[in-house]
Amino acid sequence: MLLARRASPANFAIIYGMLGSAEDTMAGQFSNSMHSENCLTCKNRHADWFCNLSPQALSEYDALGMHMVVPSGSTLFFEGQAPRGISVLCAGHVKLTTSSKDGKTLLVRIAKPGDVLGLSAALLDTPYEITAQAIDPVQIKSFQRQDFLRFLERHIEGSMHAAKMLNDEYRNALNDAIRLALSASISGRVARLFLEMTAGHDHPNSHFTLSLTHENLASMLGTTRESVTRVLNEMKRKKIITIKGTLVTILRKDTLELLL
């Protein structure tokens, strides 16, 4: 099933084109923690989210596009597909991957609430560079490409937010390159990733949600699933971290820093 708001029959054709096959969009359960479908009354906006706009811009932003809930495992768009739309992630997490000609898949990063998906492809009018797949039920606000671009033209703050998002993508890519190039050991790569995910946390026992399988982590870190499992088990045994479900807590940040 697919839940959408403000959707005309014509819009549904566009949505299904973005999401891929009907199989990808018809299965799964909806999230019970949806954000408000009215952007004007939403209480979940953060300062670094794209939708953190002035009242006038937010009013127009709210009137555009539609809110959708997409089941876990659904594909929002595919690498190489023409950019038909842009999605702002309101809740949940989306896996962004790229593939080589011989079929190898690399996990680029995990998109989080507030991120804009498909932005660079839409701005340049080039095919999507990555595939976006929900790793848990997600809520998105979906825009047709031209509507979103016209919004950016009318509102300078929207353009500035878009520029910030592109800068964040660059910084993420740079961090990925540093993680792979400067961390010779697998434990060093895991440590660097965990420190990045808790950057800015002042609490001595910082924690974060890791919605990734060991195989996903291995793809992201350029190693094997077995190596990731071994390193995580060792970190838990040495009481550097604890893992309960998807919650990772860093107990000894200084020890992680020594692994870099």
Same-domain pairing of 20 and 117? yes
Same-domain pairing of 207 and 163? no
Q: What is the pLDDT of residue 251?
A: 95
Q: Which residues contact 53 (CB under 8 A, 6 or more apart)?
A: 61, 155, 157, 158, 161
| CATH number for position 71 | 2.60.120.10
- Buried b vs exposed e over 17-29: b needs ≥16 C-beta within 10 Å? ebbbeeebbeebe
Q: What is the pLDDT of residue 163?
A: 94
Same-domain pairing of 19 and 102? yes
Same-domain pairing of 60 and 138? yes
Ramachandran sector of residue 222 (left: φ over 0; alpha: ψ -120 to 50; beta: rest)? left
The residue out of 116, 145, 177 marking a domain boundary is 177
Q: Which residues contact 123 (CB under 8 A, 6 or more apart)?
A: 149, 162, 166
In this structure, the strands spanning 75-77 and 66-70 are unpaired
Domain hosting 244: range is 184-258
Angle at which helix 156-182 crosses helix 145-154, to 10 degrees, equals: 110
Same-domain pairing of 62 and 83? yes
- Looking at residue 171, its amino acid is R
| CATH number for position 241 | 1.10.10.10
- Buried b vs exposed e over 110-141: b needs ≥16 C-beta within 10 Å? bbebbbbbbbbbbbeeeebebbbbbbbbbbbb
Same-domain pairing of 43 and 137? yes
Same-domain pairing of 101 and 199? no
Q: What is the pLDDT of residue 105?
A: 81
- Cβ neighbours of 39 (radius 10 Å): 22
Please tell me whether residue 110 adopts helix, strand or coil conformation.
Answer: strand
Averages of pLDDT over runs of 10 residues in the chain (260 residues) are 42 36 36 64 84 92 92 93 93 88 81 90 94 91 95 95 90 76 82 82 77 87 92 96 93 90
Distance (Å, whole) CA 250 – CA 242 = 7
In terms of Cα–Cα distance, which of 74, 84, 60, 62 is closest to 29? 74
Domain count, the chain: 2
Distance (Å, whole) CA 113 – CA 148 = 18
In the sheet with 116-117, reading across from the earlier edge strand, the strands are 3-4, 66-70, 138-144, 85-91, 116-117
Same-domain pairing of 114 and 230? no
Tokens 């842009």, located at residue: 86
Distance (Å, whole) CA 85 – CA 140 = 12
The whole-model pTM stands at 0.69
In the sheet with 105-111, reading across from the earlier edge strand, the strands are 75-77, 131-134, 94-99, 105-111
Same-domain pairing of 194 and 167? no
